[in-house]
C-alpha cells in the first residue's frame, strides 16, 4: 500500500523542484490532487491534462472551492497529442506523477513534452519502483534505468535521479 511517508516526500520534493517555475504542465493530472497541493503553497499556474473527463471535472471543481496562491485548470487531452500551438506560453516544468507507466506511447509523450517546455525547462517524472508498484496494483512499470534512457533519447539532458522514499523515485531531465 502507498504510505503517508511516500506521499509527504513526493509533495515536498515537487514543491522544492517546481519552486519558482511559473508555468507547470501536469500530465495525467487525475483528479488534481497534486496541482491543488502546489497552488495552495506556491504562486504558480498549473495546466493539468488527462484523458479521463470525469477526473478533469472533479479537478476543476476542487480548484474553485477556496482562493489559492496559484491558479490551476485542467483539460481533457492525451499526452501523446500535446501540441505547442495549444498553449500561448511554453511551460517551465512538466510533471508526470504516477502516470508515466499509463501512457500509451511514452516516446511520443516525452518528445511532445519537450516541445512545450521553455529552454532550461525540466521534466519531472515520479514513479513507484517496479517491485513496490506490484504490491499496489497490477500495472507493469518501467525500471529506473529504462525511464532514464527514454528521457535521454527524447533529447533531455543533465538527467538526475532521486530516491524519494523506499519504493518511490523521480527522474529529472532538462531541455537545454
Q: List residues near ligand SAM by CB under 6 A.
A: 27-30, 33-34, 49-52, 55, 78-80, 97-99, 102-104
Task: Identify whether the C-beta of residue 24 lies closer than 8 Å to the C-beta of residue 45.
Answer: yes
Minimum distance from residue 165 beta carbon to ligand SAM (Å): 14
CB of 82 to ligand SAM, least distance (A): 9
Give the integer Cα–Cα distance in Å for 13 and 68.
20
The residue (of 30 and 70) whose beta carbon lies closer to ligand SAM is 30
Whichever of 77 and 121 has its CB closer to ligand SAM, that residue is 77
Closest separation between CB of residue 12 and ligand SAM, Å? 14
Select 68 or 80, whichever has its Cβ closest to ligand SAM: 80
SS3 call for 79? helix
Rounded-to-5 percentages of helix, strand, coil across the chain: 40, 30, 30
Using the minimum distance from each CB to ligand SAM, give the nearer residue, 92 or 113.
Answer: 113
Sole residue written with cell 497529442: 81
Closest contact distance (angstroms) between CB of 126 and ligand SAM is 8
β-sheet with 71-76: strand ranges across: 71-76, 45-50, 23-27, 91-97, 117-128, 168-174, 157-165
Amino acid at each position: 500500500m502507498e504510505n503517508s511517508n511516500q506521499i509527504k516526500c513526493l509533495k515536498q520534493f515537487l514543491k522544492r523542484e517546481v519552486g519558482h517555475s511559473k508555468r507547470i504542465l501536469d500530465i495525467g493530472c487525475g483528479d488534481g490532487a497534486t496541482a491543488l497541493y502546489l497552488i495552495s503553497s506556491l504562486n504558480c499556474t498549473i495546466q493539468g491534462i488527462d484523458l479521463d473527463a470525469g477526473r478533469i471535472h472533479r479537478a476543476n471543481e476542487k480548484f474553485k472551492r477556496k482562493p489559492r496562491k496559484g491558479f490551476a485548470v485542467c483539460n481533457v487531452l492525451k499526452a501523446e497529442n500535446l501540441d505547442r500551438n495549444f498553449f500561448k506560453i511554453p511551460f517551465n516544468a512538466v510533471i508526470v506523477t504516477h502516470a508515466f507507466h499509463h501512457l500509451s506511447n511514452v516516446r511520443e509523450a516525452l518528445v511532445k513534452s519537450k516541445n512545450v517546455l521553455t529552454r532550461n525547462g525540466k521534466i519531472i517524472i515520479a514513479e513507484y519502483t517496479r517491485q513496490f508498484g506490484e504490491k499496489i496494483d497490477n500495472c507493469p512499470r518501467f525500471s529506473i534505468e529504462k525511464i532514464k534512457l527514454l528521457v535521454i533519447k527524447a533529447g533531455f539532458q543533465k538527467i538526475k535521479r532521486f530516491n524519494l522514499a523506499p519504493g518511490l523515485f523521480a527522474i529529472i531531465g532538462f531541455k537545454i
